[in-house]
Chain A
Amino acid sequence: MSASEAPRGRPRPGALDAVFAIAVNTFREGIRDRILYLLLAFALLLIGASRFLSLLTVGDESKIIKDLGLSAISVFGLLTAVFVGVSLVFKEIERRTVYTLLATPVSRWQFVAGKYAGLLAMLATNVVLMSSVLAAILLFRGESPLPLVTAEFLILVELALVTAFAILFSSFTNPILSAVGTAAVYVAGHLSWSFDLLKKRLPPGAGRTLCDVLHAVLPNLDRLDLKTAAVHSLPLPPGEPLWGALYGVAYTVAVLLLSAWLFSRRDFP
């Protein structure tokens, strides 16, 4: 009997039921492990920094609190995505629980999608809680946190994309290489503009083509960065957040499909 076939006499679960079940378990596992400690550290850092910075700055203290808050949400989320994401699939293989799981009527793409959805739910909880702490601090200071919501949402989209890469790498290599690969994608994603710069300095030929390909293929994470605009309440071009979110979601789906394909071709000893 193949892994994707259901045993006779038992109702075959819907494709999304299996994904949901794996996602719930992944979410629970993650919550028990690390997320609360990260949130606590974040909250303390933010509250401590806001008090401390009020002594150091001249002028608008809220700007620094907002910047620090948004960057902390992004960085803590990234750390969660990298360190949890890269070991998610690997841990299942190492513990050999993946054999049990794939022996049930769960296909490999459902496994990857479930793992990803669980981690994304954990990250979303993480972002919502950290944003709430930031919002509480701003409200306490008499400021509205609403202008930050779009930027916080796009931080989540960025984290979703980075997490997809973490899952992609972890579907064919070990956690250390996956972490390095995911971090490299994050760095390259924020420096993708440099391929244009590099292209101008290269003679026509393969080098320029490579720059074009890398610029087109690597994610442009700066497109998902609205932190500065949110902090200064700057008007955004119409549709920018929406197109940014669509870009991030579409890219994430593509990376996940690639992950599922790679994982489906993997041989387990």
Chain B
Amino acid sequence: MRRLAPIALLAVAVTLAAVSRDRLAALETTPRGGNEDLLYLPNGRYLRAASLGHASLAADLVYLWAIQYYSDYDRTDRYRFVEHVFGSVIPELDPHYVDPYWLGAMILTVEAGDLEAGLRVLDKGFENNPTAWVLPYLAGFECYRARQYERAAAYFDRSSRAPNAPALPLRMKAGTVAKKGDLRESIRLWEEVLRDPRADAASLAIAERQVRDLMVRADLADLGAAVEAFRSRERHLPRSIEDLVRAGLLRRVPQDPNGQPFVYDAETGRVTSRAGGVLGAR
């Protein structure tokens, strides 16, 4: 009997603990899904002081907690404190921890649709980590997605100038500049990629194709503009491309990258290239 008494006591204690836990859960009145947890998240500076020399580990723990927190899509108002957590609390604990900057920025731009907040987090990350080229690269990518090509090109430029940056940001800058319509500047940038010692074989192949394609597109644009200018001035279409040179609208008759002349239709005034379609239609 004496031997059974502790076992019985243990069983009673475990049962009581389980019942109490369930009762407490039933008494919980606060609806799940609010931001109550975050209201009590201290400022990073105070967490740093409280970590007693283990601020980097504290940053890891807040980051891990934040990942789990923001992985719960049922939460209401889940984007209210994202910038505070990823752009303030974690960086104050460990300003050199790069992952939280880009993850926070992704949540803000992709999920919350708040481009400006995402860019602020990425800017802060790059300010604290000037070698983390990926941060302005992502900022450029998000601006590109938002069709803000001027801004995107500026971010890709910052990224490509960061130490240890690969050729990728410069490629993206060249592509973005073409997207905003500056084909000649884009060609210059792609030629820069071709000379860049960081460029790998794939980047070089892409750059070569882009230069060919963009040169055709730029020449076609120049020829089209010259034809239009000729028609405005002479009240009829030019008979050939040479007419454009004679009229002083072109310096010389351009050739496509294969050394072939552009094809001019005197009936419609349309200029085409046999070298077209290098990268497919845009």
Asked if A231 meets B56 with Cβ closer than 8 Å, knowing A56-B67, A57-B67, A58-B67, the reply is yes
Contact A71 B52 (CB under 8 A): no
Closest A residue to B65 using CB positions: A56
For the complex, count residues of B whose C-beta is within 8 A of A.
20
> Could you say which of B52, B59, B96, B103 contacts A58, with CB atoms under 8 Å apart?
B103
Contact A228 B55 (CB under 8 A): yes
Is A157 engaged at the interface, CB distance under 8 Å to the other chain? no
Residues of A within 8 A of B68 (CB): 56
Contact B99 A222 (CB under 8 A): no
Contact B57 A68 (CB under 8 A): yes
Is A129 engaged at the interface, CB distance under 8 Å to the other chain? no
> Could you say which of B53, B60, B67, B102 contacts A63, with CB atoms under 8 Å apart?
B60
Is B49 engaged at the interface, CB distance under 8 Å to the other chain? yes
B interface footprint on A64-94 (CB within 8 Å = 1, 0 otherwise):
1001101100110000000000000000000
Contact A232 B53 (CB under 8 A): no
> Could you say which of A53, A70, A74 contacts B64, with CB atoms under 8 Å apart?
A53
Residues of B within 8 A of A225 (CB): 53
Asked if A190 meets B103 with Cβ closer than 8 Å, knowing A67-B60, A228-B96, the reply is no
CB distance from B111 to the nearest CB of A (A): 14
> Could you say which of B53, B64, B102 contacts A57, with CB atoms under 8 Å apart?
B64
Interface centre among B53, B57, B94, B99 (most CB of A within 10 A): B53
Contact A234 B103 (CB under 8 A): no
CB distance from A55 to the nearest CB of B (A): 10
**Complex: how many Å from CA A165 to CA B180?**
67
CB distance from B55 to the nearest CB of A (A): 7
Is A60 engaged at the interface, CB distance under 8 Å to the other chain? yes
B interface footprint on A108-147 (CB within 8 Å = 1, 0 otherwise):
0000000000000000000000000000000000000000
Is A27 engaged at the interface, CB distance under 8 Å to the other chain? no
Contact A186 B52 (CB under 8 A): yes
Contact B49 A228 (CB under 8 A): no
Closest B residue to A155 using CB positions: B53
Asked if A74 meets B54 with Cβ closer than 8 Å, knowing A59-B99, A191-B49, the reply is yes
A interface footprint on B93-123 (CB within 8 Å = 1, 0 otherwise):
0101111001100000000000000000000
Residues of B within 8 A of A64 (CB): 60, 64
A interface residues, Cβ below 8 angstroms from B: 53, 56-60, 63-64, 67-68, 70-71, 74-75, 186-187, 190-191, 194, 221-222, 225, 227-228, 231-232, 234
A-B contact pairs, 29 of them (CB 8 A): A56-B64, A56-B67, A58-B99, A58-B103, A59-B102, A59-B103, A63-B60, A63-B97, A67-B54, A67-B59, A67-B60, A68-B60, A70-B57, A71-B54, A71-B56, A74-B53, A74-B54, A186-B52, A187-B52, A190-B52, A190-B53, A191-B49, A225-B53, A227-B54, A228-B56, A228-B94, A228-B96, A231-B56, A232-B97
